[in-house]
Amino acid sequence: MSGYTNRKLFYLLLILLSNTVVVAQTVPYQTIMNRINTDLRGDGNSRSADEQVLKSITALKPDGSWADINYTNPDYNPLQRIKTIAIAFSGADHQLYGDPVAYEAIVKSLKHWIDVNPKNRNWWYNDIFYPKTIGEILILMRYGKKPLPAALESSLIALMVRKLKTGDYANTSDEALHYLYRACLTSSKSTLDSASKYLFEPVSIIDGREGVQIDNSYFQHGKQQAIGSYGAVFAGNSVNAAFYLRGTAYAMPQDQLSILITYIKDTFFKTIRGSFFDFNVRGRGISRKDSLKGNFTGLITKIKVLSPENEVYWQVAAERMAQQVSPSTGVIPGNRQYWKSGYTLHTRPGYTFSVQTASSRTLRTERGNNENILGKFLADGATNIQVNGDEYANVMPVWEWDKIPGVTSRNYSGDEGATIRQDWGVQGTTAFAGGVSNGLYGLAVYAQNYDDVQAKKAWFFFDKEIVCLGAGIKSTAAEEVTTTLDQSWLKGNVALGYADVKQPETEIHKTQSVQAKTNSMQKTTLLGAETGQKSSALKWVWHNHIGYFLPENGDLSVSNQTQKGSWYRINQFQPKDEVSGGIFQLSFLHGSKPAAGHYAYIVVPGLEDVNMMNTYKLSMIKIWSNTEDLQVVEHRGLDILQLVFYKEGALNTAGLSVKADKACTILIQGLHTENPIIDIADPGQVSAAVHLELQLPGLKGLKKLDCILPDGAQRGATVTSRLSL
């Protein structure tokens, strides 16, 4: 009897043990860690990396510290250096593979880190960067010839433990990534369960929350557009998570993978021209050196595995970012109005043009951690114009921040006027901001009322041209008000085209040796070196393959002078060294205390030769109205009419009438056909419907149209109607 009982206990124990083994085998710690290890090593040049590693090892002090690092408030450097040494020590393709001196340097420097246990004033380093990089170092060392001492590894793993901030979207995914590292290092199923849950939590669309929005833009820190800032972090972490966990029981669900792929493909990558971001999507990161660099070839390698059906798209995007092909290669024409975030993106093979606005529904571009100190006007209709892509790369230290491209603002004497006084976002001040789009063409609008400047600003997007209108410009402030057409790095000559009449010029020189002169016989000239010039007779300006046509002339200032500044001026985590360079700047001058200022200019990117300016056919474009109540542009070549009604009103011309009973934006394609397509939206996001009465050239009689506008999360989106005879 006792033998039977013993056998029964033996078989029961065997079953329990076998179940434990099965569970251990089905939790894919090693598979995930293998993928992370391979990813951390990348495809870098091991020889040049080893040379830098040797310098770091040589500079290491006996106590495991580096003399050039301030450990009282460190940022990236100490752990990054240790990580690069760990890559060399544990990588078979490195000359330092298994090197005992490298091993000692790793152990010493990690022990010093534990002893000092440094803290940064910025929580992000303490809760995200430090534990994440420690986890990467520990994973790399698991693949080395000699493991770290067990006690040292355990102490470092203990430093990785942080309370995870749920519901913080990009930051949550950042933290969940080092949870994933720790789960693999400790073979902890509960930690792996938490890591996968919170890595995937941000991959969702829930109206009213941060993260990906219903219009495919991205919010972080409240209702603030963050497509290329926190949206980049979200994209990188989410792709990493999906790649590491693919094919396991923890794989990203297909519906969430679809959200991620759509965001990256249809929004995120489209904000990168060649290998440079649109500055409008970088948030406060615009104040960091090299922040406009947008090379995501490593991410693309992974996303090809996750989304093989888009293989051609990913490959061409990678080649553009690596500058292996021109910025125009594979770019599909498009126009997208992001009604949730006030951002408009217009792309053509030859250029990218975007507009950023803020409304009372969103936050202005934030200042935080003493970054983006002077970005007060970034959300007032800033326009990013890229042909080559690098037009604004690292120009920010020398910018005049009250003259951001596209913005109408007061002309302050110094930086004080552009300084943001409140951290983490300031509420927008106007309800009427948005636009209308049919996916290929569209318009953006901004009824500005900020910093004692009011203006009705609109941008009309076509294939080759962007028509920019402003009206109702008012201010009671003492400073002169300006509208800046552009402020970018000076690249080559600045050419000026003048109206037919002779006009005296006012020139302001920093160097008197060269002067630009004009008279009634000479209608085109080059701006002299280091020259600032004011004129009311300019009909066009050309610089760096971009033409700026001035159909209403107006008082303008154009310059190509050297400007100076520093990164520290805009970001107190950046160097104080002086930065200088030649800057092309072009602005309308509306004077002090304008009561009814206005402007009109037409941007034509991609004009390779200045001689094209005098022969360019602007007759295709007709500006029917530019008032503070109604702005209308027709493109006769495309048979498109675009209208902004700031209130109930009507456009009445020969053979053409459009009447709206409420404020709205309208795009009519096929204006002269029998079947015009009407796209309409309410930028104010208040109307349930708009009643239109139309008499169009291709239709018989008066047509009445009741346009029911979307509600809820879709409020502000474009709706489409088709008219017929």
Would you name the residues annotated as active-site residues? 221, 230, 284
- For the record, the structure tokens of 146 come out as 């000699």
Given a contact cutoff of 8 angstroms between Cβ atoms, the answer to whether 283 and 341 are in contact is no
Cα diameter, the chain: 122
Instruction: Give exposure, 686-704, as e/b (b: 16+ Cβ within 10 Å).
Output: ebeebebebebeebeeebe
- The rounded distance, in Å, linking the Cα atoms of 618 and 606 is 15
- The rounded distance, in Å, linking the Cα atoms of 368 and 143 is 39
Given a contact cutoff of 8 angstroms between Cβ atoms, the answer to whether 315 and 309 are in contact is no
How is residue 134 annotated by DSSP? H
How is residue 120 annotated by DSSP? -
Strand partners, 582: 562
Q: Which of 372, 76, 339, 337 is nearest to 221 (CA)?
A: 372
User: Which residues, at least 6 apart from 720, have a Cβ–Cβ distance to it below 8 Å?
Assistant: 438, 677, 678, 679
Strand partners, 605: 546
- The rounded distance, in Å, linking the Cα atoms of 291 and 21 is 48
Q: What are phi and psi of 434, to 5 degrees?
A: 160, -130
Dihedral over alpha carbons 680, 683, 689, 695 (to 10 degrees)? -40
Strand partners, 705: 692
How is residue 522 annotated by DSSP? B
- The rounded distance, in Å, linking the Cα atoms of 699 and 106 is 78
- The rounded distance, in Å, linking the Cα atoms of 540 and 247 is 58
98: left (phi over 0), alpha (psi -120 to 50) or beta: left
**Total number of residues shown for the chain:** 725
Which helix (H) or strand (E) covers residue 201, if one does?
none
Strand partners, 410: 481
Given a contact cutoff of 8 angstroms between Cβ atoms, the answer to whether 452 and 382 are in contact is no
Instruction: Label residue 489 exposed, middle or buried (CB < 10 Å: 0-12, 13-18, 19+).
Output: middle
DSSP codes joined into one string, 592-605: ES-SSEEEEEEEEE
